[in-house]
């Protein structure tokens, strides 16, 4: 994209959870307060809603639109609101992007078609997906690299071609294979120096911190303060400082992300936000399931150890 139309996400971009009331409705008052809190930290460059951490695919279309609007109104232009674009079919995803634009989103984080997770993708199909979404909506787009263990993880050639397409200005990389990270990120940087590279390795932040422009992580919705410190240390190439933040956060990282399923991280994030007094409840939607009282206590103790309580 031309520089004047490119968002600057070089910093922390939290992916906030979606608060629900005790009866399961989207809690727009809590969402607005939460969004304002996150946007108030210097160094937060945007908020991403409707992704995995935000239970975006568990919301109706009307709820998705209303969630975007609530955040846009809450932050009042201080940071851009970025919408997860998750529809499986390309035309469906393009329509989703149009709704996001109309609701006030400034960019879109494009998820792979989820059938690819199981069956893989045909050569050229991801490029077509990004092309159609941008041509239909005009929404600036972020390339989303899925974990290497899935069949929806793009090979380097596909990443390079998507990054070269009109409308694509950043990549959220969560390949979770450090061999691929160490070999592919330098090529992406060399071939597309203007591409903003954002790590989403919530549980591998230290390793990835020195190669990126910033972080786009659900973790940022719970612990923005230490993650902003970590970004500063990474940009300063100060490994001891980065290691100190990593070690201070490790109990929280373990309590939130080293669980049986990465999906449990969303439940744990909500429990942590309730403990921090940011959200009034930790209600989740099915197919997510509440964690045990013992897990909640573990999260509280971890937050205390990290000096976040």
The model's pLDDT over 69-112, given as tens digits with 9 standing for 90+, comes to 999 999 999 999 999 999 999 999 999 999 999 999 999 999 99
pLDDT of residue 263: 87
Task: Give the Cα separation of 64 and 57 in Å (integer).
Answer: 9
State the chain's maximal CA–CA distance in angstroms. Answer: 51
- The arithmetic mean of pLDDT across residues 43-47, rounded, is 98
pLDDT of residue 5: 54
- The arithmetic mean of pLDDT across residues 44-53, rounded, is 97
- Cβ-contact 11, 45 below 8 angstroms: yes
Q: Is the pLDDT of residue 2 over 80?
A: no
- The arithmetic mean of pLDDT across residues 152-167, rounded, is 98
Task: Give the Cα separation of 251 and 169 in Å (integer).
Answer: 34
**pLDDT band at 137; cut points 50, 70, 90:** very high
**pLDDT band at 3; cut points 50, 70, 90:** very low
Half-sphere exposure of 121 (CA within 13 A, CB side): 24
Question: What rounded mean pLDDT belongs to the chain?
Answer: 96
8-33: pLDDT as tens digits: 999 999 999 999 999 999 999 999 99
203: Cα separation from own chain's centroid: 13
The C-alpha angle with vertex 171 and arms to 138 and 55, in degrees rounded to 5, equals 80
Query: Tokens representing 296?
Result: 């909640």
Listed in sequence order, the residues at least 6 apart from 64 whose beta carbon sits closer than 8 Å to its beta carbon are 50, 56, 83, 96, 99, 100
pLDDT of residue 159: 98
- The arithmetic mean of pLDDT across residues 154-169, rounded, is 98
Bridge partners, 44 (sequence order): 12
275-285: pLDDT as tens digits: 999 999 999 99
229-255: pLDDT as tens digits: 999 999 999 999 999 999 999 999 999
- Cβ-contact 80, 118 below 8 angstroms: no
Q: Is the pLDDT of residue 190 over 70?
A: yes
If residue 97 lies in a helix (H) or strand (E), which one and from where to where? helix 90-103
Whole-structure pTM over 0.85, yes or no?
A: yes
pLDDT of residue 261: 79
Percent of the chain with pLDDT over 90: 96
Percent of the chain with pLDDT over 70: 98
Listed in sequence order, the residues at least 6 apart from 44 whose beta carbon sits closer than 8 Å to its beta carbon are 11, 12, 13, 14, 38, 79, 220, 224, 228
**pLDDT band at 4; cut points 50, 70, 90:** very low
């Amino acid at each position: 994209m031309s520089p004047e139309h490119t968002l600057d996400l070089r910093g922390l971009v939290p992916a906030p959870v979606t608060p629900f009331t005790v009866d399961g409705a989207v809690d727009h008052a809590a969402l607005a307060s939460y969004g304002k809190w996150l946007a108030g930290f210097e160094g937060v460059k945007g908020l991403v809603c409707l992704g995995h951490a935000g239970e975006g695919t568990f919301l109706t279309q009307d709820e998705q639109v209303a969630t975007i609007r609530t955040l846009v109104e809450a932050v009042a232009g201080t940071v851009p609101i970025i919408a997860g674009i998750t529809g499986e079919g390309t035309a469906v995803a393009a329509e989703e992007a149009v709704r996001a634009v109309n609701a006030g989103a400034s960019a879109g984080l494009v998820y792979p078609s989820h059938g690819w997770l199981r069956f893989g993708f045909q050569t050229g199909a991801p490029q077509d997906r990004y092309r159609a979404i941008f041509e239909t909506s005009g929404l600036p787009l972020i390339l989303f690299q899925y974990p290497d263990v899935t069949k929806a993880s793009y090979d380097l050639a596909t990443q390079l071609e998507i990054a070269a397409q009109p409308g694509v200005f950043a990549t959220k990389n969560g390949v979770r294979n450090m061999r691929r990270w160490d070999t592919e990120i330098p090529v992406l940087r060399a071939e597309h120096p203007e591409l903003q590279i954002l790590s989403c390795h919530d549980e591998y932040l230290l390793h990835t911190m020195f190669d990126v422009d910033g972080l786009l992580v659900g973790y940022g919705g719970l612990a923005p303060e230490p993650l902003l410190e970590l970004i500063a240390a990474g940009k300063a190439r100060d490994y001891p400082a980065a290691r100190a933040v990593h070690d201070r956060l490790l109990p929280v990282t373990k309590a939130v992300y080293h669980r049986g399923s990465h999906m449990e991280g969303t439940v744990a994030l909500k429990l942590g936000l309730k403990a921090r007094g940011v959200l009034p409840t930790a209600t989740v939607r099915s197919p997510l399931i509440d964690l045990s009282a013992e897990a909640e206590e573990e999260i509280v103790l971890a937050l205390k150890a990290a000096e976040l309580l």
